[in-house]
Amino acid sequence: MLQLNITSQPIRLEYTIQNAQLNQKTTHPILEMERIPPRLEISQPKGKLTIDSTEFYHSIGLKTREALSKECAERGRQATLDAIAATIVEGNRLAQITNPSNAFADLAFESRFSKKGELSWEPIIAPSVRYEAIPPQIEVIEGKVNYNLVRGSVDGEYVPGKVSFQVAQYPRVDISTIDVKA
């Protein structure tokens, strides 16, 4: 008797699987801030003090050349006017021929006596003192906030997955006959 012997060998596959990868590198955002505070700057310039003692010195007799020249010119002018007035008065006295007195003798007699000086009290003028205040200078400098934003970033690299396979064993069917003696 013949016996049929069938053996089969299935296909055997070997799989190599490489998973997909997503590599990410994250850079965090950075906010750089600089705060400049407000400022108030105040400066006080010096005031201006003016002392004018010219009139004071003039009142006590100490004068500048210009003031002394003006005063001498005024006194000379006044002395000239007084001399002209005195000459007119003398001329008028001499012209009065109806007057019984001798005008020449009277004038000669009067010219013999000199006039006495006068003492007068003059006020002393105080120096002129002025002060000019200069207001303070105020400057307001506003504060501010400076900022710089460095944006974050996400760098990604995608590596796709792979599936590869190989046949490790091919399918096979073996058919054989065996003579079995019973």
pLDDT (tens digit per residue) in 134-152: 999 999 999 999 999 999 8
- Give the chain's mean pLDDT: 88
Determine how many CB atoms are found less than 10 A away from the CB of residue 129: 10
Helix axes 103-111, 65-95, angle to 10 degrees: 150
**19 within some domain:** no
Is 61 a domain residue? Answer: yes
Name which of 81, 95, 86 is nearest 115 in CA terms: 86
Residue 58 has pLDDT above 80, yes or no: yes
Percent of the chain residues topping a pLDDT of 90: 41
- What per-residue confidence (pLDDT) applies to 106? 80
Whether residue 91 lies inside any domain: the answer is yes
The pLDDT of residue 6 is 87
Establish if 103 belongs to a structural domain. Answer: yes
Does residue 120 carry a pLDDT above 70? yes
The rounded distance, in Å, linking the Cα atoms of 107 and 94 is: 9
Into how many domains does the chain fold? 1
The answer to whether residues 156 and 22 touch, using CB atoms and an 8 Å cutoff, is: yes
pTM of the model: 0.37
Residue 66: give the domain boundaries. Answer: 45-114+123-135
Q: Which pLDDT score is estimated for 133?
A: 92
